Structure 1
Amino acid sequence: MKPLVSAVQAWSCVVISVFAIVILTTLGFLFKANHPELVGGEEDPKNGPAVAGTVFTAVIIYVGFLVFCGLQGLLHVRESRRGAIAL
């Protein structure tokens, strides 16, 4: 099977996805706990758990990106071990 994206794009996507998962998970837990810094102001959302659900949906999407891009990166590693010439 041939990779669909380049190696640089695949590994960049892996790094960005890991950072997004960590940051969004932290924000999701803070919204779920109704942390006053996030839901305490006049213009802030009133229902923290509802916002947390949306944030956790974004985390699931980034996990999908992480799996896809990680597999693409591994395909590049496997292809380079076979002695394929990169053009």
Structure 2
Amino acid sequence: MKPVVGSMQAWSCFVISVFAIIILSVLGILFKGNHPELVGGIEDPDDGPATAGAVFIAVIIYAGFLVFCGLQGLLHLRENRRGSIAL
């Protein structure tokens, strides 16, 4: 199986996805608990748990990116071990 994206793009996407999952998970937990800093103002969302649901959907999407990009990176490692020429 050949990689679809380049090595640099795959590993960059992997690292960005890891950070996004961590940051969005913390935000989702805070929204789910109706943390006053996030839902206490006039322009803030009224329903913290509903907002947390949307944030957790974004976490699931980033988890999909993490798996896809991680597999692409591993395909590049496997291809490089076989001695193929990189252009």
Give TM-score, length-normalised by structure 1: 0.99
The Cα of 1:42 is off from its aligned counterpart by 0.8
Query: Partner residue of 1:27?
Result: 27
Write the distance in 1 (CA, Å) between the matches of 2:81 and 2:42. 58
> How big is each residue's C-alpha offset from its partner over 1:51-76, in whole Å with a ceiling of 9 and x where there is no partner?
00000000000000000000000000
Query: What is the percentage of aligned positions where both structures have the same residue?
Result: 77
Write the distance in 1 (CA, Å) between the matches of 2:24 and 2:73. 23
Write the distance in 1 (CA, Å) between the matches of 2:68 and 2:43. 37
Aligned amino acid, residue 25 of structure 1: S
Write the distance in 2 (CA, Å) between the matches of 1:45 and 1:57. 17
The Cα of 1:10 is off from its aligned counterpart by 0.1
Unaligned regions of 5+ residues in structure 2, if any? none
Give TM-score, length-normalised by structure 2: 0.99
Number of aligned residue pairs: give it: 87
